[in-house]
């Protein structure tokens, strides 16, 4: 089955040259950015980026739109998001294919990513009637106390190349029902998917007679537009997904102006495999976690701690499963692993393998660059490396399909090593022993934001809060009560008596 890429682009309104700024109108006069497909290293289309002055134009419309949007009742905002979800359903195959073209994940995962967008839109629709505040009993007679959640204003969303559309939607759909308007700065590696999403959303706002600047876009350079955005005091919240290095910069600048951040940064996710586990399930889970999306999810499995009794058996199973991974064009059915995002990513994988070897690691399989079959140089064989201990390279996040195997003989020791890395996003244990499972999930267990039993580290559902601890940044996006980060809380006390009693029984001047 082949995909007609020209048709995909046409269906999504992508031209050969596009503008990078949107505030209801499309414009841009900055540097031209080329969107290069990692599949063959060829240009898909270009984008004329926004300048810092054009950022101002985007901001001012988003601010105007906020004044209108906050007055639309929550459930009516939900209805708009419902329609955006319908738009995404109608474009699922095309948008999934564009994600594959621009980012390189296999089409099944591209469509899965769009499904996450649809799911979060549905979640946000329900949420739009459930943004509850509490009521409290006042200590004073004839007084009432309650709290309300109000929209924050214009917020900033910075997203990464690896989930170019889903992560925007986690923020955008929730922020929209909360009454915020937003400016999205996508990764410069995936600008076209961002433009396609904007077009789907903008149509819904226009069809409903609302300002499409509720969801605005600015594709611009990090050093100019990105810096301007994080310094902008008028943006009360910046939600940023990407590397720890980027997150530290965002955290420092936004923290310096006492703004809020939601940071979703690096992960170094591990699976602990107990000797009480189902080996078939474990093998499949590790394969999906480590090889899926070519190891470029922030939830990708990077470390596996295996009990010594089953170490050799699992190692053999994994090496044989890795031999069967079909590598190739991610648009072809049957391909399990596509390319890495670019040559730089391939180089950093090569460097990490060299480093691992110098730290005592043994490569069990993979790691080669498939230069002959794929001259663009973006395709690699997924790699398994056996490590004598959790040395420095194992503690780093390398955004590539490298899996480190480590042996353990007691759970406490495994847990200690599991937590002894700077990141704290996702984690898993495979066991049928309830005591081990409960230990892993307890306060003395995994220190991550996500901890699973008998499920791998990646592929989380949107219903839960997504994010992690330590250098992962501490933010939470998507489901549960993550919406609260997109709103400001107000405590209200109303006196319906004819007296003015003071709290704490204070007498003052009476
Ligand atoms: C990311 O890699 O930035 O849990 C997000 C998962 C996906 C989201 C990953 N639902 O793997």
DSSP notation for 125-173: HHHTT-----EEE-SSTTEEEEEEEEE--EEEEE--SSSTTHHHHHHHH
pLDDT-flagged residues of the chain (< 70): 1-2
pLDDT of res. 510 = 75
CA of 466 to the centre of ligand 1 (A): 8
Name residues contacting ligand 1 (CB within 6 A): 116, 162-163, 167, 241, 297-299, 458-460
Whether 285 and 252 share a structural domain: no
In a domain, 80, yes or no: yes
- Residues of the domain holding 287: 269-461
Note whether 277 and 235 are same-domain residues: no
Q: Strand 383-386 vs strand 32-36: parallel, antiparallel, or unpaired? A: unpaired
Residue 161 lies in a domain: yes
Residues 419 and 486 in one domain: no
Report d(CA 62, CA 68) in Å as an integer. 10
If asked whether residues 95 and 118 sit together in one domain, one would say: yes
Atom of ligand 1 nearest to the CA of 458: 11
- Residue 318 token pair: 């994994």
Query: Does 310 share its domain with 336?
Result: yes
- Ligand 1: which atom is nearest the Cα of residue 462? 10
Counting the structural domains of the chain, the total is: 2
Rounded to the nearest 10°, the torsion over CA 106, 112, 118, 123 is: -140
Q: What is the pLDDT of residue 68?
A: 98
Q: Looking at the structure, do residues 141 and 204 belong to the same domain, yes or no?
A: yes
By C-alpha distance, which of 178, 13, 209 is closest to 81? 178
Out of 466, 467, 478, give the residue to mutate to test ligand 1, the one with the largest number of ligand atoms within 8 Å of its CB.
Answer: 466
Mutation choice for ligand 1 from 119, 189, 290, 297, CB with most ligand atoms inside 8 A: 297
User: Could you give phi then psi for residue 461, rounded to 5 degrees?
Assistant: -80, 155
Instruction: Please give the structure tokens belonging to residue 61.
Output: 């419309």
Q: What spacing in Å lies between the alpha carbon of 177 and ligand 1's midpoint?
A: 22
- Do residues 254 and 346 both lie within one domain? no
Quote the ligand 1 centre to 508 CA distance (angstroms).
57
Residue of 162, 163, 246 to test ligand 1 pocket, by largest number of atoms within 8 Å of CB: 163
Structure tokens at 293: 């999306």
Residue of 102, 264, 397, 471 marked catalytic: 264
In whole angstroms, what is the distance from residue 102 CA to residue 97 CA?
9
Instruction: Give catalytic status of residue 227 as yes or no.
Output: no
Altogether, the residues listed in the chain come to a count of 510
Expressed in angstroms and rounded, the spacing between residue 168 Cα and the centre of ligand 1 is 12
pLDDT of residue 1: 54
400-448 pLDDT, tens per residue?
999 999 999 999 999 999 999 999 999 999 999 999 999 999 999 999 9
H or E stretch at 297: none
d(CA 117, ligand 1 centre) in Å:
12
> CATH number of the domain that 48 lies in?
3.40.605.10
CA distance 283 to 217: 41
């Amino acid at each position: 089955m082949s995909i007609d890429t020209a048709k995909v682009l046409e269906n999504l309104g992508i031209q050969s040259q596009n503008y990078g700024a949107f505030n209801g109108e499309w414009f841009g006069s900055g540097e031209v950015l080329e969107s290069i497909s990692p599949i063959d290293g060829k240009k898909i289309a270009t984008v004329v980026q926004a300048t810092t002055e054009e950022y101002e134009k985007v901001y001012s419309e988003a601010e105007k739109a906020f004044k209108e949007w906050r007055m639309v009742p929550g459930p009516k905002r939900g209805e708009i998001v419902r329609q955006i979800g319908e738009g995404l359903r109608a474009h699922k195959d095309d948008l999934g294919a564009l994600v594959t073209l621009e980012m390189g994940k296999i089409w099944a995962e591209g469509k899965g990513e769009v499904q996450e967008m649809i799911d979060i839109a549905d979640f946000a629709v329900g949420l739009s009637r459930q943004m509850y505040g509490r009521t409290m009993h006042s200590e004073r007679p004839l007084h009432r106390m309650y709290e309300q959640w109000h929209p924050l204003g214009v917020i900033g969303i910075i997203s990464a190349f690896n989930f170019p559309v889903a992560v925007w939607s986690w923020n955008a759909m929730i922020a929209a029902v909360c009454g915020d308007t937003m400016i999205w700065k996508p990764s410069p590696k995936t600008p076209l998917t961002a433009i396609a999403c904007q077009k789907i959303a903008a149509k819904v706002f226009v069809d409903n007679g609302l300002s499409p600047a509720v969801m605005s876009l600015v594709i611009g350079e990090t050093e100019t537009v990105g810096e301007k955005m994080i310094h902008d005091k008028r943006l009360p919240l910046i939600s940023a997904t990407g590397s720890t290095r980027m997150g530290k910069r965002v955290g420092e600048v936004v923290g310096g102006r006492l703004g809020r951040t939601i940071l979703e940064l690096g992960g170094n996710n591990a699976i602990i495999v107990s000797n009480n586990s189902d080996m078939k399930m474990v093998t499949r889970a590790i394969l999906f976690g480590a090889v899926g999306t070519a190891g470029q999810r922030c939830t990708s499995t990077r470390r596996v701690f295996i009990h010594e009794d089953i170490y050799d058996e699992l190692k053999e199973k994994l090496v044989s499963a890795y031999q069967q991974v079909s590598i190739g064009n991610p648009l072809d059915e049957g391909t399990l692993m596509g390319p890495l995002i670019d040559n730089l990513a391939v180089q950093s994988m090569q460097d990490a393998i060299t480093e691992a070897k110098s730290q005592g690691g043994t490569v069990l399989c993979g790691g080669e660059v498939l230069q002959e079959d794929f001259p663009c140089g973006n395709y690699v064989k997924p790699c398994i490396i056996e490590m004598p201990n959790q040395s420095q390279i194992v503690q780093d996040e390398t955004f590539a399909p490298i899996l480190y195997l480590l042996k353990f003989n007691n759970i406490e020791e495994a847990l200690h090593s599991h937590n002894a890395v700077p990141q704290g996003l996702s984690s898993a244990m495979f066991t049928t022993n309830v005591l081990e499972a409960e230990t892993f999930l307890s306060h003395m267990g995994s220190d991550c934001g996500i901890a699973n039993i008998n499920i791998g580290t990646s592929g989380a559902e949107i219903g839960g809060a997504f994010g992690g601890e330590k250098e992962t940044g501490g933010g939470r996006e998507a489901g549960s009560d993550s919406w609260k980060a997109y709103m400001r809380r107000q405590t209200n006390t109303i006196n319906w008596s004819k007296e003015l009693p003071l709290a704490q029984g204070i007498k003052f001047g009476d």
